[in-house]
Amino acid sequence: MEDTILSVEKLSFRYPNQSDYAVQNVTFQVKRGEWLAIVGHNGSGKSTIAKLLIGLLRPESGVIKLFHTVLDERTVWEIRRRVGMVFQNPDNQFVGTTVEDDVAFALENNGIPRDEMIKRVHEALRQVQMEEFLHHEPHHLSGGQKQRVAIAGILALRPDLIILDEATSMLDPKGRQEVLDTVRNLNKKQRITVLSITHDLEEVAKADRVIVMNKGEMMAEGTPKQIFALGTKLERIGLDLPFAVKIRDRLKQRGIPLSSSYVTIEELVEELWTLYLKR
Amino acid sequence: MMNSMIIGKYVPGDSVIHRMDPRAKLLVIFIYVFIVFLANNSATYAILSVFTFSLVVLSRIPLSFVLKGLKPVIWIVAITFLLHVFMTKEGDVLYQIGSFSIYEGGVKQGVFISLRFLLLIMITTLLTLTTTPIEVTDGVESLLGPLKKVHVPVHELALMMSISLRFIPTLMEETEKIIKAQTARGVDFTGGPFSERIKAIVSLLVPLFISSFKRAEELATAMEARGYRGGEGRTKFRQLVWKWTDTAFLAAVLVLAVVLFALRS
C-alpha cells in the first residue's frame, strides 16, 4: 500500500436548517508528497470540505482519516498540529502584532518551549524567504507577504499536510505567484503534501491530481491534462479554462497541428516557436 | 493621519527607561501614584519634582514630547489652581480685589495641587512614550497573573488587548477605504448640516461593523485551526526579563516614599 496520509470516505455534510447537501458522498485519498487540487465554482462545497478536514465542522456521515487516525473529538487537536491550513483573507488570519509573534502563535498554542520556538520561527521564515521581516507589523506587508507568513506559521509546526483554502484568491498576480512558488518549493523539495482548494485553473495546472466538485458532489478526478480535456463541460459548471488551453483549442480549430498534452503557457510558447521547424 | 493619533505615542529609543521591564515600570507608577499624595510642603514637592524630571532626562525623550502629553489636562490644572487660590483662606492676605482676597496659603495650596497633577500626568505620559502597547499588555498580564487563581480570565483579557492593538491599523485602513467608497457614491462627510453629517457617519459605521464581525469570525476560525484552545498549557514567545536595573528603579521609588514620609509636615 502506498503511503496514504488522508483518506475521505463517503463524506456528507449539510449546514443547519438546509435541506440540500453542501457535500455529498465524497470519497478520495491523498498520498504523501502529492499536490492535490480541488476545484469548483462558488458553492460547490470545496471550502466546506476543507473545514471538515480539520474538524471545524462535523460531518453528517462518512469517515475522515488523517495519518490512519480517525478524526474525532479526541484526536482533533493532534491532527490540527499536523495539518496546517492557510485561509483566504490574509488579514483575518494574522493574529500576532509582528511577523515573529504570528509565526510563534501556533507554537505557543502547542506548548513548545521558548528556545525551540525561536529556532523554529527563524527556520520557518527562512523557508518562505521572509526572515528579514521578523519585526515587521502586518500592515506594512503586502497580501502575498502576509500569506507567506501564514505559511511560515504552519511550517513552524512541521506539518505533514498543508491545506490552501483559496489562499491566493485575494492576491494580486505578483503575490499569487510568490505564494504558489513558495508552496511548490515546499512540495518538491521537502515533500510536504499539499491540498489546494481553488477556483483558479492556472493554479490547478500545477497540481499532480485534480478533483472537480459541482454542487457538493465529485464530478471528475484526474491529472490536470485529463481534466482540461473536459473543455466545455468545465465551462458549463462555471469554471474558466486556463488561457493556454483556450488558445490551443482555438488554434486547433483553425487547423494548426498542436498536441493537446500541455496545460501551461510556457509549454504553449515552446510548441509554437518550434512548430515552423517541424514542418 | 489617524494612525499617528492612537499608536504614534510610542517614541522608539534605547534608553535605560525604554529597556526597563514593563512590570517594573507599572509597579513604579503604581507606587508613585500613592506617594504623590504624601508630599505636602516645599521640600517634599521639590524632591518629588527632581525625581520625576530625572526619569524624563534618563528616558532621553525631548521634554517637548512629555509636555505635549500635558496639553489635554492643562485647563483642568488651571481651574484647580484658581479654585484653590480663591477658596483657601489661610495665612496672610496677599492681594485684595473688591470683596475677594487672595491669601498666601491659597497660592501655596494652588501651586502644590497643580504640581501634583502635572507630575502624575508626566509620569504616566512617560510610560506610554517609552513602552510599546504590547509590552504594557504583557506587563499587565504578568502582574495580574496571580488573579487567575480566583478565576479572573487574565490571559483572555491580555489576548483581547493584543488582538485589538493588532487590528487598529487594519480597521483604520478599512475606514479610509469605506470613506472613499461612500464619497464616490455621493456621501458628504465634511460639510452640510449636523443631521446630514450624522447620516453620513451611519453610512460609514454600518459597513465597518459588518466587516468587523466577519473578520472576528474568520479570525476565530483561523485561531482554532492553529490549535488555540485557551491559556492552559500555552507557552509564551515574548518574554519579560527582570534585570538589576528594574530592581534598582523599584528600590529608588521605595526610598523616595520613605524620604517623603520623613520630610512631610
pLDDT digits over A72-82, tens only? 888 888 888 88
Residue B24 has what pLDDT?
Answer: 93
pLDDT over threshold 70, residue B5:
no
Phi, psi (deg, nearest 5) at residue A168: -110, 0
B103 and B24 both lie in a single domain? yes
**A265 half-sphere exposure, CB direction, 13 A CA radius:** 5
A148 and A237 both lie in a single domain? yes
With an 8 Å Cβ cutoff, are A91 and B170 in contact? Answer: yes
Find which of A75, A85, A92, A162 to mutate to test the B interface (most B CBs within 10 Å of its CB).
A92
CA A246 to chain B, closest CA, distance in angstroms equals 36
B234 located within any domain: no
pLDDT over threshold 70, residue B3:
no
Residue A227 has what pLDDT?
Answer: 84
B96 located within any domain: yes
Written as nine digits, the cell of B111 is 501651586
The reply to whether B222 touches chain A by the CB within 8 Å rule is yes
pLDDT grade for B8, boundaries at 50, 70 and 90: very low
pLDDT over threshold 90, residue B209:
yes
**Residues above pLDDT 70, as percent of chain A:** 97
Name every residue whose Cβ is closer than 8 Å to that of residue A141 and which is 6 or more positions away in sequence.
A99, A133, A149
Domain count, chain A: 2
DSSP helix/strand/coil, B202: helix
With an 8 Å Cβ cutoff, are B235 and A101 in contact? Answer: no
With an 8 Å Cβ cutoff, are A108 and B166 in contact? Answer: no
Phi, psi (deg, nearest 5) at residue B102: -100, 125
Residue A217 has what pLDDT?
Answer: 85
Please tell me which of the candidates B169, B170, B226 has its beta carbon nearest to residue A153.
B226
B84 located within any domain: yes
Residue B248 has what pLDDT?
Answer: 92
Count Cβ atoms below 10 Å from residue A220 Cβ, excluding itself: 17
Residue with cell 488573579: B147
DSSP helix/strand/coil, B261: helix
Which chain A residues are within 8 Å of B224, Cβ to Cβ? Answer: 56, 80
DSSP helix/strand/coil, B79: helix
A48 and A173 both lie in a single domain? yes
B115 and B245 both lie in a single domain? yes
Nearest CA in chain B to A165: B222
Which chain A residues are within 8 Å of B228, Cβ to Cβ? Answer: 105, 109
**Residues above pLDDT 70, as percent of chain B:** 97
B127 and B253 both lie in a single domain? yes
B17 and B126 both lie in a single domain? yes
B121 and B153 both lie in a single domain? no
A44 and A182 both lie in a single domain? yes
**Do strands A217-222 and A83-86 pair parallel, antiparallel, or not at all (unpaired)?**
unpaired
B157 located within any domain: yes
B22 and B81 both lie in a single domain? yes
Find which of A48, A139, A146, A147 to mutate to test the B interface (most B CBs within 10 Å of its CB).
A139
B202 located within any domain: yes
Which chain B residues are within 8 Å of A84, Cβ to Cβ? Answer: 226
Range in B5-9, B41-45, B129-133, B202-206 with the lowest mean pLDDT: B5-9
- B102 bridge partner residues: B95
CA A227 to chain B, closest CA, distance in angstroms equals 31
B22 and B104 both lie in a single domain? yes
* Alpha-carbon torsion angle B76, B80, B85, B91, nearest 10: -150
B196 and B163 both lie in a single domain? yes
Q: Give the domain range for residue B221.
A: 147-225
Mean pLDDT score across all residues of chain B? 85
Asked if A194 and A6 touch (Cβ cutoff 8 Å), the reply is no
Written as nine digits, the cell of B157 is 483579557
B122 and B251 both lie in a single domain? yes
Q: Give the domain range for residue A65.
A: 4-241
A252 and A235 both lie in a single domain? no
A246 and A236 both lie in a single domain? no
Distances (CA, A) of A89 to A261, B174, B217: 34, 14, 12
Mean pLDDT, range B205-210, rounded to an integer:
93
pLDDT over threshold 70, residue A251:
yes
Mean pLDDT, range A236-240, rounded to an integer:
78
Give the amino acid at B19: R
B97 and B192 both lie in a single domain? no
Residue B219 has what pLDDT?
Answer: 92
Name every residue whose Cβ is closer than 8 Å to that of residue A133 and which is 6 or more positions away in sequence.
A99, A125, A141, A145, A149
**Do strands B100-103 and A69-70 pair parallel, antiparallel, or not at all (unpaired)?**
unpaired
Q: ipTM greater than 0.90, yes or no?
A: no
pLDDT over threshold 60, residue A1:
no
Nearest CA in chain B to A53: B225
A130 and A255 both lie in a single domain? no
Mean pLDDT, range B214-238, rounded to an integer:
87
Q: Where residue A165 sits, what CATH number does that domain have?
A: 3.40.50.300
Cβ within 8 Å of A, B 168-207: 169-170, 173
The rounded radius of gyration (Å) of the Cα atoms in chain A is 20
Residue B10 has what pLDDT?
Answer: 77
Residues of chain A whose beta carbon is less than 8 angstroms from a beta carbon of chain B are 51, 54, 56, 77, 80-81, 84-85, 87, 89, 91-97, 100-101, 104-114, 117-118, 121, 137-139, 153-154, 157
Asked if B166 and A94 touch (Cβ cutoff 8 Å), the reply is yes
pLDDT grade for A2, boundaries at 50, 70 and 90: low
pLDDT over threshold 80, residue A231:
no
pLDDT over threshold 80, residue B200:
yes
DSSP helix/strand/coil, B226: coil
Range in A132-141, B6-15, B114-123 with the lowest mean pLDDT: B6-15
pLDDT over threshold 70, residue B18:
yes
Phi, psi (deg, nearest 5) at residue A17: 65, 25
Mean pLDDT, range A184-203, rounded to an integer:
87
Asked if A86 and A163 touch (Cβ cutoff 8 Å), the reply is yes
B23 located within any domain: yes
Residue A279 has what pLDDT?
Answer: 61
B114 and B187 both lie in a single domain? no
Tell me the pTM.
Answer: 0.79
Mean pLDDT, range B247-262, rounded to an integer:
91
B230 located within any domain: no
Domain count, chain B: 2
pLDDT grade for B4, boundaries at 50, 70 and 90: very low
Cα–Cα distance between B243 and A267 in angstroms, integer?
62
With an 8 Å Cβ cutoff, are B235 and A117 in contact? Answer: yes
Residue B1 has what pLDDT?
Answer: 37
A42 and A63 both lie in a single domain? yes
Buried-exposed string A80-116: b where 16+ CB fall within 10 A, e elsewhere: bbbbbbbbbbbbbbbbbbbbbbbbbbbbbbbebeeee
A221 and A118 both lie in a single domain? yes
Nearest CA in chain A to B135: A97
With an 8 Å Cβ cutoff, are A105 and B226 in contact? Answer: yes
Residue A275 has what pLDDT?
Answer: 77
B139 located within any domain: no
A147 and A121 both lie in a single domain? yes
A11 and A75 both lie in a single domain? yes
A224 and A260 both lie in a single domain? no
Cα–Cα distance between A129 and A177 in angstroms, integer?
14
B127 and B151 both lie in a single domain? no
Residue B64 has what pLDDT?
Answer: 84
Count Cβ atoms below 10 Å from residue A216 Cβ, excluding itself: 22
The reply to whether B41 touches chain A by the CB within 8 Å rule is no
**Residues above pLDDT 90, as percent of chain A:** 11
Residue B121 has what pLDDT?
Answer: 87
DSSP helix/strand/coil, B255: helix
Between A and B, how many CB-CB pairs are < 8 A? Answer: 88
CA B205 to the chain's CA centroid: 27
Nearest CA in chain B to A89: B218
Residue A249 has what pLDDT?
Answer: 80
A190 and A74 both lie in a single domain? yes
